[in-house]
Amino acid sequence: MSTPAPYYKYHVFFCTNLRADGSQSCEQCGAQASRDYLKQRTKELGLTGAGGVRVNNAGCLDRCSEGPVAVVYPEGTWYTYVDSEDLEEILQSHLIGGEPVERLRLPG
Is residue 25 at the binding interface for ligand FES, with CB under 6 A as the rule? yes
Residues near ligand FES (CB under 6 A), total: 11
User: Binding pattern to ligand FES, positions 33-62, x when CB under 6 A?
Assistant: ---------------------------xxx
Is residue 71 at the binding interface for ligand FES, with CB under 6 A as the rule? no
Residue environment code for 51-90, b if the CB has 16+ CB neighbours within 10 A, otherwise e: ebbbbeebebbebbebbbbbbbeeeebbbbbeeeebbeeb
Residue nearer to ligand FES on the CB measure, 69 or 101: 69
Position among 8, 10, 13, 15 found at the interface with ligand FES (CB under 6 A) = 15
Distance (Å, rounded) from C-alpha 13 to C-alpha 36? 11
Stretch that binds ligand FES, among 63-71, 75-83, 84-92, 93-101 (CB under 6 A): 63-71
Phi then psi dihedrals of residue 63, to 5 deg: -130, 40
Closest CA to 83 of 45, 6, 10, 30: 30
Residue 28 CA neighbour count, 13 Å, CB half: 12
Residue nearer to ligand FES on the CB measure, 21 or 44: 21
Site residues (CB under 6 A) for ligand FES? 15, 17, 25-26, 60-64, 67, 69
